[in-house]
Amino acid sequence: MINAPVLFGVGGYVPDAVLDNEALSRIVETSDEWITTRTGIRERRILAPGSGGACMAAVAARRAIEDAGIPPESITHILYATCTPDAMCPPTSCTLADKLGLSGVFTADVNVACSGYIYGLTLTRGLLAAEPEATVLLVAADVMSSRVNWQDRSTCVLFGDAAGAAVFRAGGKGKGILKDALVSSNGALGPLLHVGGGGSATEFKPGDVIGPEFFIRMEGREVYKHAVRCMVKCSRDILERNGLGIEDVDLFIPHQANLRIIEAVGSKLGFPAEKVFCNVQIRGNTSAASIPLAFYEAREAGLIRPGMTVLFATFGGGFTWGSALLQL
């Protein structure tokens, strides 16, 4: 039995630039009516092209460190969840450490697409079990706008850019404990949500024209079905193995991909609508940043109180999925 990681601080960040459905419908053949009816999304935030996610991650990280009330130099480990790294090399976790003025720390990128934060929580448990003196900064940031094909209306309307962060230690008086985390995957379904170009399985050389394979391609309907099924299952599984029922959960924060997916998962699990947190309407799908940003914004809105039990559930490319329980 490992000691549950203690949550000390959280942070979040979204860029200032808003891209609403009206503006999108001037870029690609779509409409506010189609997007809001099928996804619930009204607008999303877009990072200035070419900026790189580490600049968003740094703001979210600084907010989390400040919230934790610890000196930045006490961070010993940085986990950076992203599927849109600033570069193939160096790892963006190293870039982030430098931006935070830290050197000599453990840094690792975690690429599990939208599930990156929940996988990061699982890794945080392991790190703190192995090194109880560690202070882990878990950051999740994605610049989905950099890998969206703005000519593909079936995907470009869905995504946005953001970062979220959290600081964990193995003990001490924090804001809550990470009771449990559970993750899973199925690589056979990977082609249904795919960004091929830029990876070593695609041959390219200087001067090649960048084709659609460099951008997100998705079989939306199939992804939708699996997302609902997997998020429901991993939510039930984690509650069951912790001896909890739906009635014990005070707030459910699912991955923010599509309002219809969120509503379907919430209702299959039996949550009343007021216990299900949604910010997808104004953030879109921000991939790995989705859950930590949602938690941060829920807290900013005064929805997180001591004593609450919070359930997270995610789903993303891979396919990967997972759930986590936070006891505040």
Binding site for ligand UT7 (CB under 6 A): 30, 34-35, 38-39, 114, 153-154, 157, 193, 220-221, 223-224, 227, 257-258, 261, 285, 315-316
Q: Cβ closer to ligand UT7: 7 or 35?
A: 35
Helices (H), the chain: 21-24, 32-39, 54-68, 92-99, 116-130, 153-156, 220-241, 259-269, 280-283, 290-300
Minimum separation from the CB atom of position 171 to ligand UT7 (A): 34
**Nearer CB in complex with ligand UT7: 75/183:** 183
Nearer to ligand UT7 by C-beta: 127 or 313?
313
- 209 Cβ contact list (under 8 Å, min separation 6): none
Nearer to ligand UT7, 8 or 277 (CB): 277
Question: Nearest 5°: phi and psi at 323?
Answer: -145, 160
Coil, strand or helix at 175:
coil
The tokens for 79 are: 């986990």
45: β partners: 18
Rounded CA-CA distance 232/213 in Å is 31
Please, what is the minimum distance in Å from the beta carbon of residue 80 to ligand UT7?
19
Q: Which is nearer to ligand UT7, 135 or 290 (CB)?
A: 290
Which residue has the CB atom at the shortest distance from ligand UT7?
220
- The single residue of 83, 230, 255, 279 carrying the catalytic annotation is 255
Structure tokens at 228: 């609902």
Residue 226 appears among annotated catalytic residues: no
**Pick from 194, 143, 196, 148: which is nearest to 28 by CA?**
148
In one-letter notation, the amino acid at residue 37 is: T
User: Is 285 designated active site?
Assistant: yes
- CB of residue 252 vs ligand UT7: minimum separation in angstroms? 17
Told to judge if 111 belongs to the known catalytic residues of this protein, a careful annotator would answer no
User: Min. distance of Cβ 75 from ligand UT7 in angstroms?
Assistant: 29
Which one from 55, 114, 230, 278 is the annotated catalytic residue? 114
**Alpha-carbon distance 71 to 65, whole Å?**
7
Tell me how far, at minimum, the Cβ of 104 lies from ligand UT7, in Å: 35
Instruction: Supply the residues annotated as catalytic.
Output: 114, 255, 285
